[in-house]
Structures are given as structure tokens and as C-alpha cells.
């Protein structure tokens, strides 16, 4: 994975001051604060509200080549404002933005950007258009009824900011009349050489704990857990963590981060789910 170039300019430098010239205490405190800020905000991304010239985010030029609308580059302020608020990609299948607090890349894969079993069968799923307060007009996949549920997605890890812990989160809603969710759903994350998602055997019995499976030598290739939806609130958005990944420099650009939400072992017919998408975002420190 390529590394992001880091750079910043500071208008003050204590080392450049004349040692023979008395230094005003207020000036010294101001300069010291500026240097401290430079140290804490030296990140591979844009930092909102920084007095230091912002640093362009990791890989942003390649990412916005797939933007649905032209990007205004007439000024840095306008460019940064767009990247902070978000840019839609691939006919609104994805959204890319830069977190204002950390300056790190974030991605949202909407329903249209996911691979959903039976989604084009009208008796099982329905595509509905909603006015979302954050995204405007947005198509979402609504589950009518299905026995074998599987919602897959993948992303090239080179698009994410390096050396960062990310969480992969499914965002969906369960209607009041939702049925068939007596069995827990299975959440999986893995790396693969191809973008194609391969189904995994779920032989181990586990509940609310991560299971790591080795396909070869080295670190685990697959991580999975189960989560019950029975006690989840109805009629509001639910966030369900599918996994966490650390974007180490050793990841090959050819590999993809793959993730899935599934439930087909119970045999129940499930209904009443509205899938908004999956967000990949830096995990906040507690």
C-alpha cells in the first residue's frame, strides 16, 4: 500500500528567533502552542479549522476520479469543504469523505454498492427510494421475505488511510412488523486476493464472540461473530459492527477487505429489514 506524503508549513519557529532579542511571554506561549498543534495535527489527512495549511488526504486524487459530479478546485477552501461533506462515487453506490476531526478517509457503501442475495427477485426484495436527511434521494433495499439472507461487500484497502484502526459497520432498520429473526445473524470479515466474495463454512458454534479461522500460515484470514437482532430497537437505524481492521502497510493493493451479514442456518423466513449500507470509518478511541 502506498504511503501518504506528509507536509505542513508553520508561520512560527522558535528556533529561528534571535537569542539576543527578548522574547515576549505572550508571543512565546503563542509560538509554543502553534508548535504543539503542528505536532498533534500532522496526519495523513485534512484537519478542519487548523491554522496550519491542511494536508491533502491519502489517495484522494485517485478516489475522486470516480466522483458522480465535478469537483470544484477553484480554491483549497472549496475543495476541502467538498471532501469534508462527502463525494458520491459510482452513480451513488458509494460515498467518500474525510473525517473532520482526524483527517482520515471514510467510506459508505450504499445498498446499490453491496451484493445482496436475491435482491433482483421482486418477491424477495424491493428497491425503494427515500429522502434521507443526510444523503438526499437514496435507493435502499427493503427485505420482503427471504430464507437465505446474505449481504456482502468489499473495498480496496489502499483507499483507506494507512496505519489506522477501522471498524466496518452495517446500518439498517427493522420495521415493527419484522419477523423471523429468532436466530442470530453471522458477521464476517476477511481478506481475499479477488473482489469476489466466497462463502464460508460456519461449522464452529459461537455466540457474541469473535472466531478466527486460518486458511494458511500467518494471521487469521477470517474473523466472524454472531449477534442477535431480537432485542434491537424497531423503527430506527441500527449500527452493527461486522469487524475491525488495521490498515498496516504490509497489505497488498491486490487484496480486498470483504465483509458479510448472513443468516440461513435457522431456516426461518425473515422480513421487515431496510438496508442502508455499510460504513468503514476510523474507530474512535475510548
CB 38 within 8 A of CB 60: no
Of 33, 29, 25, the C-alpha closest to 50 is 33
With 90 as the cut, is the pLDDT of residue 50 above it?
no
pLDDT at residue 193 in the model: 61
Q: How confident is the model at residue 37 (pLDDT cuts 50, 70, 90)?
A: very low
How far separated are the first and last CA of the chain, in Å rounded?
28
CB 153 within 8 A of CB 109: yes
pLDDT at residue 56 in the model: 54
With 60 as the cut, is the pLDDT of residue 188 above it?
yes
Residue that has been written with the C-alpha cell 450504499 in this structure = 110
CB 58 within 8 A of CB 161: yes
104-115 pLDDT, tens digit per residue, is 999 999 999 999
- Phi, psi at residue 32, to the nearest 5°? -65, -40
H-helix or E-strand spanning residue 251: none
| Neighbouring-strand partners of residue 227 | 185
Q: Which residues have CB under 8 Å from 274's CB, separation 6+?
A: 128, 140, 141, 142, 143, 172, 173, 174, 175
Lowest-pLDDT choice from 6-20, 53-67, 129-143, 228-242: 6-20
Question: Would you list the DSSP string of 131-154?
Answer: EETTTEEEEEEEE--BSSEEEEEE
What is the pTM (predicted TM-score) of this model? Answer: 0.74
221-261 pLDDT, tens digit per residue, is 678 889 999 999 999 999 999 998 888 754 555 577 889 99
Q: What share of the chain is helix, strand, coil (3-state, %, to 5)?
A: 15, 35, 50
CB 125 within 8 A of CB 155: no
Q: What is the CATH number of domain 104-282?
A: 2.60.120.260
Q: For the chain, which residues make up each domain, given as ranges?
A: 14-87, 104-282
Of 68, 179, 73, 171, the C-alpha closest to 114 is 171
Higher per-residue confidence, 199 vs 249: 249
CA distance 227 to 277: 18
Amino acid at each position: 500500500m502506498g504511503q501518504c506524503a506528509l507536509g505542513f508549513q508553520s508561520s512560527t519557529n522558535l528556533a529561528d528567533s534571535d537569542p539576543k532579542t527578548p522574547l515576549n511571554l505572550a508571543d512565546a506561549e503563542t509560538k509554543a502552542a502553534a508548535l504543539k498543534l503542528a505536532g498533534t495535527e500532522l496526519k495523513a489527512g485534512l484537519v478542519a479549522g487548523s491554522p496550519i495549511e491542511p494536508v491533502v488526504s491519502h489517495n484522494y486524487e485517485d478516489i475522486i476520479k470516480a466522483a458522480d459530479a465535478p469537483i470544484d478546485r477553484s480554491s483549497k477552501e472549496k475543495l476541502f469543504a467538498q471532501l469534508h461533506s462527502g463525494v458520491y462515487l459510482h452513480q451513488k453506490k458509494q460515498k467518500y469523505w474525510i473525517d473532520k476531526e482526524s483527517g482520515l478517509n471514510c467510506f459508505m457503501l450504499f445498498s446499490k454498492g453491496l451484493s445482496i442475495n436475491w435482491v433482483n427477485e421482486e418477491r424477495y426484495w424491493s428497491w425503494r427510494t427515500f429522502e434521507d436527511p443526510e444523503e438526499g434521494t437514496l435507493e435502499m433495499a427493503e427485505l420482503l421475505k427471504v430464507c437465505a439472507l446474505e449481504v456482502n461487500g468489499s473495498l480496496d484497502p489502499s483507499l483507506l488511510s494507512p496505519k489506522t484502526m477501522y471498524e466496518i459497520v452495517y446500518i439498517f432498520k427493522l420495521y415493527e412488523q419484522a419477523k423471523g429473526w429468532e436466530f442470530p445473524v453471522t458477521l464476517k470479515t476477511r481478506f481475499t486476493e479477488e473482489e469476489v466474495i466466497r462463502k464460508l463454512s460456519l461449522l464452529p458454534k459461537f455466540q457474541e464472540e469473535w472466531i478466527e479461522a486460518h486458511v494458511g500460515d500467518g494471521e487469521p484470514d477470517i474473523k466472524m461473530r454472531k449477534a442477535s437482532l431480537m432485542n434491537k430497537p424497531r423503527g430506527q437505524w441500527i449500527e452493527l459492527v461486522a469487524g475491525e481492521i488495521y490498515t498496516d502497510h504490509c497489505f497488498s493493493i491486490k487484496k480486498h477487505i470483504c465483509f458479510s451479514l448472513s443468516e440461513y442456518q435457522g431456516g426461518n423466513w425473515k422480513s421487515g429489514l431496510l438496508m442502508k449500507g455499510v460504513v468503514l470509518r476510523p474507530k474512535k478511541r475510548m
